[in-house]
């Protein structure tokens, strides 16, 4: 079964607010995690990644936090914009040469 899951299937936020999307994973051996954004009718697009030897990584308006103790991953989007509306997936790399495992996704809707 899936080893990656999400707490919230949908999230609505006001434009300009911060968004937090959560993800739980079950494989403690996973050493690499990625967040993808998927807009309607398109393929998943890489947003940000983090390795297991880190607990935080920042990009442009996005931050990923990793809590290995509770096997939890989150994506924070600052000053959410209408263009951020999409489905967001977390994915984990269980071990070395194995394909990424994806969670079910969270739909983010930005209210103008």
* Residues at the site binding another protein, with contacts judged by CB under 8 A: 2, 32, 34, 36, 41-46, 49, 89, 93, 96-105
- Judged by CB, which is closer to another protein: 16, or 46? 46
Question: Rounded to an integer, what distance in angstroms lies between the CA atom of residue 64 and that of residue 34?
Answer: 9
- Minimum distance from CB of 80 to another protein (Å)? 22
- Judged by CB, which is closer to another protein: 19, or 106? 106
Question: Rounded to an integer, what distance in angstroms lies between the CA atom of residue 49 and that of residue 46?
Answer: 8
Pairing status of strand 72-77 against strand 19-25: antiparallel
- Judged by CB, which is closer to another protein: 96, or 112? 96
With beta carbons less than 8 A apart as the criterion, state whether 36 and 45 touch.
Answer: yes
């Amino acid at each position: 079964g899936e080893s990656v899951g999400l707490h919230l299937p949908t999230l609505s936020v006001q434009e300009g607010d911060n968004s937090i999307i959560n993800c739980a994973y079950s494989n403690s051996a996973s050493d690499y995690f990625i967040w993808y954004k998927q807009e309607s009718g398109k393929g998943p697009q890489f947003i940000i990644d983090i390795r297991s030897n880190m607990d935080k990584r920042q990009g442009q308006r996005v931050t990923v936090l990793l809590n290995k103790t509770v096997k939890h991953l989150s994506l924070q989007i600052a000053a959410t914009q209408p263009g951020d509306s999409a489905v967001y997936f977390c994915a984990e790399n269980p071990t070395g040469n194995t394909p990424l495992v994806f969670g079910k996704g969270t739909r983010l809707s930005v209210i103008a």
